[in-house]
Chain A
Amino acid sequence: MSANDSTLVSIRDLKVHFDLGGGGPLDKLFGTNTVKRVVKAVDGVSIDIHKGETLGLVGESGCGKSTLGRAILRLTEPTDGQVFYNDRDLAHLSSRQLREQRRHLQIIFQDPYASLNPRMTVGQIAGEPLETFRLARGREAEQRVQELLETVGLSKRFIKRYPHEFSGGQRQRIGIARALAVDPDFIVADEPISALDVSIQAQIMNLLERLRREKNLTYLFISHDLRAIRHVSDRVAVMYLGKLVEIADAKTIYNEPLMPYTKALISAVPVPDPQVEATRQRIMLEGDVPSPINPPTGCRFHTRCPYAIEKCKEVVPQLVEIKPAHFAACIRISPAQPHIEDVAPGAAPGLPQTGPQEA
């Protein structure tokens, strides 16, 4: 997958590391925290997001998926790497230049309670971006806000109300209206439905889908909910401890996951069908997700992987196109032997190749 005309956002070897301190001269003097501790929340992620698609980003808590989403918009400063949008590298723009670009790139947050200013009316919240980017003022701005509210399914009578007067789902709609105010091309939706009830989740997913069609939007949809991800996404990227481990279209990744972590993740999703549940064989993972402070060497999943061999502790697997448009990072599979169940015990067909590591 090389950057081509259909690519809207192109991420190259993006890293976000958080320095937790330690290892300084004073630390050594006092004998505390003698080792420098760094959380590698995002550690070398490369992926292209295509115009008009919904790319689902899925992973468990602490895998770095939200940090990746925020780093694309530079709400969190990347440590290294590039984010290309319209041929500009967002990661290296000055703050003034970045401001101009932000108009095109927006975000919807998880917590509809914390992401709206409680002292601003709905009209002010949705209208603020118009003012910031000098897109409209006065009468025109008010009319635009009314349209926005109707677009997201809220009555324009609500314009003078405050966030606390709304339910979670309605607040999420306000957050969506705010993101849409500037007519963006690209929206990072960071767990937009996780805090909502089931019946409201469906409403918000349908709303986002309708808006994508009507306004030619491109989404990065971040969620830990595989059922939701499968439903809204065209392609899905799976993240584990700061790295992408598998990328494929949504249907394929669900029906035919290749990387052992993805397999376990998908097998863990409860299916709302008692008959399926009764007969289903789950891949049970041992233990917890390791700490991102000192992630395991080699393949970061090797500590929990039922297929791990000695080599997995040493070699950092690269994303390889195992099947057409289906990338996975695992040394124990290769394009010739894509299914790990069929690979001879102890064999690592993905090993000797040097090369393709790009998604």
Chain B
Amino acid sequence: MTSSSDGNLLEVKNLRTYFDTEDGVVKAVDDISFQLKRGETLGIVGESGSGKSVTNLSIIRLVPDPPGKIVSGEVIFNGTDLLLLPNDAIRKIRGRRIAMIFQDPMTSLNPFMKISKQVMETTQLHLGHSKAQAYDHAVRMLETVGIPDARGRADSYPHEFSGGMRQRVMIAMALSCEPELLIADEPTTALDVTIQAQILELIKKLKRETGTSVILITHDLGVVAGMTDHVIVMYAGKIFEQARTAELFATPGNPYTKGLLRSVPDPTDEQGKLYQIPGLPPDMAHLKPGCPFAARCDYVQDICRREFPPFVKLNTDHHSLCHFAREVYSESGGTPVQE
């Protein structure tokens, strides 16, 4: 295992993933770049259709092809470009060194297979465990993720488990080979709030214990605030802003981020009219020239409708895709660095 000198576990460079649809080409992910440091948690926030899930499917090369296609870019994981690997090599990484948890724990588990067997599969395949070894390991993993009476319940079927329990099983499966990277795509969206708190706490605890790096995809800014070190905000297939989590929440440098933050009701605040971002997300098959957010933006000027905005460096580890990034950042109380 070669480790790159700068401490990056994952480096995504100029990734483009396009989909051929009846309406034309949809640029679901369009030229995005980011890094994930070892041991850190990166949050990817965006609304439906922003490209956050496609980004991660691209990293592990699970984009349905056709209609999807990774058009260009590099995904450097531990020094290797995953996009150049042959299929059998990527299969050895998937589930072993990069694991995934999906939103819906019901559809991601096989309803006809015992829980134990599903957890065993991963280690039998990747670690060459014997049946007995794998079974013991599976029970241990189920215990780790907090399934009560794990040995007694290991031979249950998925429908006998609640949503929260099923998500725990998914986490047990994902972590059973001690992956270096865990990708969690809306892991708690289908769960109740008290169960969400349990699962998030579990992910945090396991991360502390194993040192796994995590990419957490979510639409919930509250979850991002509590779980992540870095945040990427996506809109219309582009990264609109990226920064350290505390910095992004304190001094957002992009009108879209600002709008998103203001449109979440603050429970500690007085009731009043909630800020709303006007309009709808753009039709991804027919993007107009200029900034894709222009039609909904409070700061819009003529240039925004004409020219695609630059990705402006505002501070160390803080970039924003906006013609007026510096102004927005200053207004939030930040001091832009001089290039």
Chain A bound to chain B = yes
Q: Which residues in A have some Cβ–Cβ distance to B below 8 Å?
A: 60-61, 167, 169-170, 197-203, 205-206, 209, 224, 226-228, 230-231, 250-251, 254-255, 264-278, 280, 282, 284-285, 287-289
- Residue B277 at the chain A interface, CB threshold 8 Å: yes
Q: Which of B163, B192, B222, B274 contacts A272 (CB 8 A)?
A: B222
Q: Mark B192-221, 1 if CB is under 8 A from A, else 0.
A: 111111101100000000000000000111
Shortest C-beta distance, A264 to chain B (Å), equals: 6
Residue of B220, B249, B274, B296 contacting most chain A CB atoms (<10 Å): B274
Q: Would you give the shortest CB distance from A201 to chain B, in whole angstroms?
A: 7
Pair B164/A288 contact, Cβ less than 8 Å: yes
Are A198's CB and B193's CB within 8 A? Answer: no
Q: Does B225 contact A (CB under 8 A)?
A: yes
**Bound-state Cα–Cα, A299 to B130, Å:** 47
Q: Does B156 contact A (CB under 8 A)?
A: no
B194 to chain A, nearest CB (A): 5
Closest 10 pairs between A and B when the two form their complex, measured CB to CB = A270-B222, A231-B265, A277-B226, A202-B263, A60-B192, A268-B197, A197-B47, A272-B221, A199-B277, A202-B276
Q: Do A274 and B267 form a contact, CB below 8 Å, given A199-B277, A203-B276, A206-B276?
A: no
Query: B200: nearest residue on chain A (CB-CB)?
Result: A270
Q: Across the interface, which residues of A come within 8 angstroms of B223, CB to CB?
A: 270
Report the separation of the CA atoms of residues A227 and B265 in the bound assembly, to the nearest whole angstrom.
6
A268 touching B274 by the CB < 8 A rule?
Answer: no
Question: Which A residues are in CB contact (< 8 Å) with B245?
Answer: 274
List residues of chain A with CB within 8 A of the CB of B273: 206, 209
When distances are taken between beta carbons in the complex, the residues of chain B under 8 Å from A200 are: 47, 280
Q: Does B259 contact A (CB under 8 A)?
A: yes
B175-200 interface code vs A (CB 8 A; 1 in, 0 out): 00000000000000000111111101
B260 contacts chain A at the CB level, 8 A cutoff: yes
Complex alpha-carbon distance, A288 and B225, angstroms: 25
> Whole-angstrom distance from the CB of A298 to the nearest CB of chain B?
20
Contact A201 B201 (CB under 8 A): no
In angstroms, how far is the closest chain A Cβ from the Cβ of B269? 9
Is the beta-carbon distance between B194 and A264 smaller than 8 angstroms? yes
Q: Which secondary structure dominates where chain A touches chain B? A: helix
Q: Which residues of B contact A227 (CB under 8 A)?
A: 222, 264-267
B87 within 8 A of A: no
Residues A226 and B193 in contact in the complex (CB < 8 Å), given A169-B280, A170-B280: yes
Residues of A within 8 A of B278 (CB): 203
Q: Which of B226, B274, B275 makes the CB contact (< 8 A) with A270?
A: B226
Q: List 6 A-B contacts (CB under 8 A).
A: A201-B263, A202-B276, A227-B222, A227-B265, A269-B222, A276-B225
| B330 proximal to A (CB < 8 A) | no
A198 touches B221 (CB 8 A): yes
Question: Which of these, A169, A224, A250, A277, contacts B192 with CB under 8 Å?
Answer: A224
Q: B225 to chain A: which residues have CB within 8 Å?
A: 270-274, 276-277
Residues of B within 8 A of A60 (CB): 192-195
Task: Give the distance in Å from the alpha carbon of A268 to the alpha carbon of B195 in the complex.
Answer: 9
Contact of A199 with B261 in the complex, beta carbons under 8 Å: no
The answer to the question of B246 belonging to the interface, with a C-beta cut-off of 8 Å to chain A, is yes
User: Is B310's beta carbon under 8 Å from chain A?
Assistant: no
Q: Which residue of B lies closest to A270 (CB)?
A: B222
Q: Considering the chains assembled together, what is the distance between the CA atoms of A40 and B114 in angstroms?
A: 31
B residues adjacent to A (C-beta < 8 A): 47-48, 148, 162-165, 192-198, 200-201, 219-226, 245-246, 249, 259-261, 263-268, 271, 273-278, 280-281, 296
Q: What residue of chain A has the Cβ atom nearest to residue B48's Cβ?
A: A197
B192, B194, B198, B278 interface centre (most CB from chain A within 10 Å): B194
Q: How far in angstroms is the closest Cβ of chain B from A348?
A: 24
CA–CA, A65 and B175, complex, Å: 36
Partner of A199, one of B164, B198, B263, B266: B263
4 extra interface residue pairs, beta carbon distance < 8 Å, beyond A254-B268, A285-B197, A289-B194: A203-B277, A226-B193, A266-B267, A289-B162
CA–CA, A227 and B267, complex, Å: 6
Query: Complex: how many Å from CA A264 to CA B195?
Result: 11
A269 to B261, CA, bound (A): 16
- Give the residue name and chain of the A residue nearest to B229 (CB): A274
CB–CB A285/B194 < 8 A: yes
Query: Judging by beta carbons under 8 Å apart, are A265 and B261 in contact?
Result: no
Inter-chain CA distance A223–B193, complex, in Å, is 12
Complex alpha-carbon distance, A302 and B31, angstroms: 53
Contact A272 B193 (CB under 8 A): no
Residue among A60, A228, A270, A288 facing the most chain B CB atoms (10 A cut-off): A270
Q: Given the complex of chains A and B, what is the CA–CA distance between A282 and B201 in angstroms? A: 10
Shortest Cβ distance from B103 into chain A, in angstroms?
A: 14
A254 to B278, CA, bound (A): 29
* CA of A276 to CA of B110, assembled, Å: 39
CB-CB under 8 A for A274 and B249, given A264-B194, A288-B162: yes
Quick one: closest B residue to A170, CB to CB? B280
Residues of B within 8 A of A230 (CB): 265, 267
* Residues in B neighbouring A274, C-beta threshold 8 A: 225-226, 245-246, 249
Contact (Cβ within 8 A) A268 B47: no
Find the residue from A200, A205, A284 having the highest chain B CB count within 10 A.
A200
Provide the bound-state CA to CA distance between A276 and B260, in Å: 18
A197, B277: Cα distance in complex, Å: 11
Measured CB to CB, the closest approach of chain B to A295, in angstroms, equals: 15
B48 → chain A closest CB, angstroms? 6
A255 to B267, CA, bound (A): 9
Whether A269 contacts B193 in the complex (CB less than 8 A), given A199-B260, A202-B277, A227-B267, comes out as yes
Please name all residues of chain A whose beta carbon is closer than 8 Å to the beta carbon of B192 when the two chains form the complex: 60-61, 224, 289
Most buried by A among B265, B273, B280: B265
CA distance A264 to B315 in the complex (A): 38
Q: Is the CB of B193 within 8 A of A224?
A: yes
Could you tell me the distance between the alpha carbons of A31 and B147 in the complex, rounded to whole angstroms?
Answer: 31
B137 → A minimal CB distance (Å)? 25
Specify the chain B residue showing the minimal Cβ separation from A288. B162
Q: Is the CB of B267 within 8 A of A269?
A: yes
* Nearest B residue to A267, CB-CB: B197
Residue among A203, A206, A267, A288 with most chain B CB within 10 A: A288
Question: What B residues does A264 contact at CB under 8 A?
Answer: 194
Query: Which A residues touch B296, using CB under 8 A?
Result: 199
Which residues from chain A contact B274 at a C-beta distance below 8 Å?
202, 205-206, 231
Check if A271 sits within 8 Å of B276, measured CB to CB.
no
Q: How far is the CA of A282 from the CA of B100 in the complex (A)?
A: 27
